[in-house]
Every structure is written in C-alpha cells, then in structure tokens.
Amino acid sequence: MEQKKDYFEGEYMPQMNRIGKITGLLGVILCFCPAVALALVYGLLPQPAALLTAFIAGAASFGALWFVEPISYYPVLGTVGTYMAFLSGNISNMRVPCASMAQAAAEVEPGSEKASVIATLGMAVSIVINISVLTIGVILGSSVLSMLPATVTNALNYLLPSLFGALLVQFAMKKVKLGVVVLAFGILIYLAINGGLFNWLPGASNYLPTLGCIFFSIAVAMLTVDKKKEGEKA
Amino acid sequence: MSVSELQNSAVMWVACGIPVVLVLVQAIVFARKAYQAGPKLGLTQKQMKAGMRSSAITSLGPSVVILSGMLSLLVTMGGPVAWMRLSLIGSVMFESLAAGFGTASVGVELGSSGMTELAYTMGLWTMILCSIGWVIFATLTADQMEKVQKKVTGSNPAMLTALSSAAVIGAFSSFCAQNIVKVNKNTIAVILGGLIMFVMMKICEAKQIKWLRDWALTFAILGSMIITALLPV
C-alpha cells in the first residue's frame, strides 16, 4: 500500500501536473491561431477600443465563471479532470456525466486514486467522440440540420434534462436523503434567483446554483459521514 | 472574397485546426499515462475497459446536442470557428453571446445579413479573449486545489469518497433544479428520465442483467426524450 501511494503521489501526479500545465497554457496561446491568421494573411485587425468594450461586456456577463467553475467542479473532476475538462469545454453537459458514468461502470470509489485514473480514461474517450461528431457535423454542414425532421430537433431539446434526471437518480440512489435535500436546496436557489433575491449579484444565475449545490452537498456529507467506517454505503 | 468565403477559407480551417489537434493530443497523452498507471494502482483491464465503454455510450447523446448548437454558430461565424470554439473550452451557451458582443461593438448584430470582415474579426477576438479565462485559472490552480481538498479531508479515504460522491450529487441536483423550476416540458423530462432510470436500476439489481447496466442510461434518456416530445402541451 505504501509503495502504491509513492507511485501515485510521487510519480504519476507530478507527471500529470506537468502535462496538464504545459498543454493548458499551450492551449491558451494556440487559441489565438485563427486571430493571428486573420491578421497575417488577410490584414484584418480588431479595433482596440471596440474590442475592450466587447471584452468588458463578456467579462461582466460571465467573467465570474472563469473563477467559480474551476472551483465548483474541482471536487467532481479531480486534478487531471480539471485540466482536461477546462481545455475541452462542455463540462456540465458532457465531461461530468462521462467521468461519473465511467467510475460507476468500473465500480471504483469516487475520490480514490483508481477513480482518478478511470475519470481520465472516460473523459479522454468523451473528448475524442465529441470532436469526431463535431468534425463530421461541420463537414456535412448545415445540410444535416435541414435533413432532420422537426420532430427530432424538437425532441433533442429534452435530451439534456432527461440525462440530468437519470444521472441524479443513478448517483443519489445510494444516498437518497442527501439527494432529496440537495435537490430541494437547488430548487430553492433557483426560485430565489427567479424571484429577484440575488439581483445584487451580477450573473448569479450562471454560477450560484451549481456552486451552492456542490458545496452544500459536500458540507452536509462531511458533517454526517462516519469517519471510522470506511465507505459504509458504497 | 466575400465574408462567407473568408470565414470558410482553407487558411481558417488550418488555423482553427491547430488548437483542436492540441485538445486531442492532450486527451490521448493523458489517457495513455492513465492506462499505464491503472494496473499499478490495482485496476484491472476489465475495469478500465468498462469505464471507457460506459463513457463512450454516455458521450453520444450530448455530442448530438452540442452538434446542433454548433450548427447555429456555423451560420453566423462560419464552419472553422464554430468547430474550434465547441471543440475547445467552449460551451454552446456562451459562444454566441461572446460573438454577439464582438460584432455589436462595431455595430453589427449577430445573425443579421450585414456581417462584415471587421465584425467577424471582432467576434472572433472576443470569443477567444472571453474563453481563455477558464483555462488559465483552471490550469494554474488545479494542483493547488488538490492541496486544499487534502487538508479538508485530512487525506482520509472515507472522507474523500464522501466528498466526491456528494459533489457529483450536488452538480446533478443543480442541473436538474435548473430544468425543474422552468415548469414546462423540461420539468417533465427531468422527472421521466429519473423515473425510467430508477425502474431500470431496480431491474438490473433484481435480475443481474449486466449488459442492461451499460445501456440503462441511454434507454432512460431516449425514453424520456421521446415521451416528453410526444406529449401534447
């Protein structure tokens, strides 16, 4: 057991951290490729003053998410998962469901070293599939959408709500009380936001519910967990 | 060259392809390391394959939803940019918003027929500048957050498991609550998805049908989605 720990913490994680930081920061630089291409090949440059206005508008609407989301999702994604999910995007609708389903299928304890490895594998698969589907889609272009009958595009609107409902049941079934309490808490936050209680917090509806639910759920679980009985309910 | 030709030019495809390839490279490098590490940490090949298969099945539905989101962006910002922005960092919700702020800053409404070269340039720059915040912060703080988490749980495996399972429940509760409070067909979809999943899991438990466990989620999503869409309201 001691040796395993040395390997994970002393060898595996430092390697993964290094890869994560290099690829993440490289990603930030490479993002500018199309903008640089516009400038170098076509001589098209943005107007700095107008760009600043646009950036401020964007930052005001969802800038808080840049900081809140990595913190909110960290306990769900883990360290390697955080590197992967934030570079590839589509976190709530894709990475979180895939990582948790992979862990459930492999029957590993969430939060364990094994779970971290499985989440990494699961997320990598989902990234490859996501990009493949988008690539095929973009090659076929908008003709795909016009080919689909209206009933199908209409039904697609209900795919994510159905997915979330099913996933909540899957993961809360072992912890029914926690699931019910946290879901009720989430509904209350949304009702409060819709009722205007958080109007003083700009963009609150974007980040407050998820941040609130995750940390509320963690707090309840930590206060009620039996520290001596290891994984009693799993 | 028209704006649409510019947006879909070979140059833009190559320039947008570079960061997309990086995302794939990162995923593959991480996956290889994890696959090698698995057995050393006590994972069996079977477990790792089960995890990957389950993730592949789970990926399909959301991928199609993201694709349909990309198609609306494709009309306004062109193929390459839409493809790149949803393959990396992006999320359907914020991309159109950011592009809209960019084009509006030079007086062009996104989705109108008046797209100009300048508006396209502004839209693209705004999308890039507004998205890198996520990666910068997440990349720089991931290992720091690990230290915080270790302190909170005292590196106790039972506490770590409790924390992670609770976090997953918290995340899905929030996503569900968001749809439930809409009190429309989305509400029904959440409830039906949960209900069908519950029944499937009970069947799996009682009859020990292995293959059904892999597909339970897909059946729940498809069933709930189709029933919700067919409901008259």
Domain boundaries, chain A: 174-234
Q: Does A135 touch chain B (CB under 8 A)?
A: yes
HSE toward the beta carbon, residue A98, CA cutoff 13 A: 33
Question: Cβ of A222 and B14 within 8 Å?
Answer: no
Question: Which of helix, strand or coil describes residue B78?
Answer: coil
Q: Does B176 touch chain A (CB under 8 A)?
A: yes
- The predicted-structure confidence for A135-179, as pLDDT tens digits, reads as follows 998 888 766 666 778 788 788 889 989 999 999 999 999 899 999
Burial A45-72 (b: 16+ CB within 10 A, else e): ebeeebbebbbebbbebbbbbbebbbbb
Question: Cβ of A45 and B121 within 8 Å?
Answer: yes
pLDDT value at position A97? Answer: 93
Q: Which of B124, B153, B173, B197 to mutate to test the interface with A (most CBs of A within 10 A)?
A: B173
A217 chain-B contacts, CB cut-off 8 A: 166-167, 169-170, 173
pLDDT value at position A233? Answer: 41
Query: B118 vs chain A: nearest CA distance in angstroms?
Result: 7
Domain ranges for chain B, please list them. Answer: 1-141, 156-233
Question: Cβ of A130 and B63 within 8 Å?
Answer: yes
Compare CB distances from B62 to A17, A32, A97 and report the shortest one's residue: A97
pLDDT value at position B115? Answer: 87
Q: Does A107 touch chain B (CB under 8 A)?
A: yes
Confidence of residue A224 (pLDDT cuts 50, 70, 90): confident
Two structure tokens written together for B215:
């597909």
B213 chain-A contacts, CB cut-off 8 A: 105
- The predicted-structure confidence for B119-166, as pLDDT tens digits, reads as follows 999 999 999 999 999 999 999 999 999 999 888 888 788 888 888 899
pLDDT value at position A4? Answer: 52
Single-letter amino acid, residue B49: K
The residue with tokens 């959440």 is B190
Q: What are the distances in angstroms from CA B155 to CA A1, A70, B36, B41? A: 14, 21, 24, 17
Question: Cβ of A144 and B71 within 8 Å?
Answer: yes
Compare CB distances from B174 to A124, A133, A209 and report the shortest one's residue: A209
The set of residues, in sequence order, having a beta carbon less than 8 Å from that of B82 and lying 6+ positions away, is A138, B70, B71, B73, B74, B95
Residue A21: name the closest of B89, B88, B21, B26 by CA: B26
pLDDT value at position A201? Answer: 83
Confidence of residue A62 (pLDDT cuts 50, 70, 90): confident
Query: B114 vs chain A: nearest CA distance in angstroms?
Result: 17
Question: Cβ of B221 and A71 within 8 Å?
Answer: no
Separation of alpha carbons B158 and B146, rounded Å: 16
Question: Cβ of B30 and A16 within 8 Å?
Answer: yes
pLDDT value at position A234? Answer: 39
Separation of alpha carbons B199 and A216, rounded Å: 28
B10 and A21 Cβ atoms separated by less than 8 Å: no
A88 chain-B contacts, CB cut-off 8 A: 23, 26-27, 87-89
The residue with tokens 């040395």 is A6
pLDDT averaged over chain A? 88
Neighbours of A139 (CB within 10 A): 10
- The predicted-structure confidence for A33-49, as pLDDT tens digits, reads as follows 999 999 999 999 999 99
Interfacial A residues in 144-173 facing B (CB < 8 Å): 144-145, 151, 153-173
pLDDT value at position B72? Answer: 76
B227 and B192 Cβ atoms separated by less than 8 Å: yes
The percent of residues above 90 in pLDDT, for chain A, comes to 62
pLDDT value at position A231? Answer: 46
Q: Helix A204-224 vs helix A48-88: angle between axes, to the nearest 10 degrees?
A: 30
Listing DSSP states for B6-45 in one string gives HHT-HHHHHHHHHHHHHHHHHHHHHHHHHHHHHHHTT--H
pLDDT value at position B224? Answer: 95
Enumerate residue ranges in chain B where pLDDT < 50.
none
B35 chain-A contacts, CB cut-off 8 A: 121
Separation of alpha carbons B32 and B38, rounded Å: 10
pLDDT value at position A32? Answer: 96
Instruction: Name the closest residue on chain A to residue B210, using Cα atoms.
Output: A105
